[in-house]
Structure 1
């Protein structure tokens, strides 16, 4: 399964709506997370020697909703985390990327 959905949102309520959706979908193996929170979580897991477990938390849900996609330029370490996460999920699970910016405005 390799599905990628791009959702460009300009509504201030998009995060709140996504969170509400994830609560009702959580029993169906769906996880919602803001990208900044995911990156902080993985950094903390790295410092606590639980990186593999922290990565699995985001790599294994059937559907992963990543909100606030690339609003800020990621550090090199964060870029590696994002790459590793997407590499682990590819061809297995679905990912939904939510952003307030159009694709051309994302950071490289």
Structure 2
């Protein structure tokens, strides 16, 4: 997930954000690892929600994470 957020920012700077989002939309399966292990900012949350919205009821997305019970 951190790499995904970095890529979103990179593509936004290059003016290719929508093109990248469309590429992610077309994948039959998208696996996002390290889901929300670190706090996110408003832009990252917006990117994530947009990605979820464009894939909803169309393609499969798996979110993976690790959580320590010790905190």
User: For the residues of structure 2 that align with 1:85 and 1:60, how far apart are their CA atoms?
Assistant: 11
Unaligned 5+ runs, structure 2: none
Q: Distance in 2 between matches of 1:63 and 1:39?
A: 18
Of the two, which has the highest radius of gyration? 1
Q: Runs in 1 of length 4+ with deviation above 3 angstroms?
A: none
Q: Aligned residue for 1:93?
A: 59
Could you tell me which runs of 5 or more consecutive residues in structure 1 were left unpaired when the two chains were aligned. Answer: 1-34
The SS at the match of 2:64 is strand
Match of 1:84 in 2: 50
SS at match of 2:6: helix
Q: Take 1:96 and 1:42, find their aligned partners in 2: how far apart are those partners?
A: 19
Residue-by-residue CA offset, 1:59-102 (whole Å, 9 max, x unaligned): 22011000000011111000000000000000000111110028
The residue number in structure 1 matching 2:17 is 51
Query: How far has the Cα of 1:56 moved from its partner?
Result: 1.7
SS at structure 1 position matched to 2:5: helix
Question: Per-residue deviation at 1:57?
Answer: 2.4
The Cα RMSD (Å) is: 1.5
Count of residues in correspondence between the two structures: 69
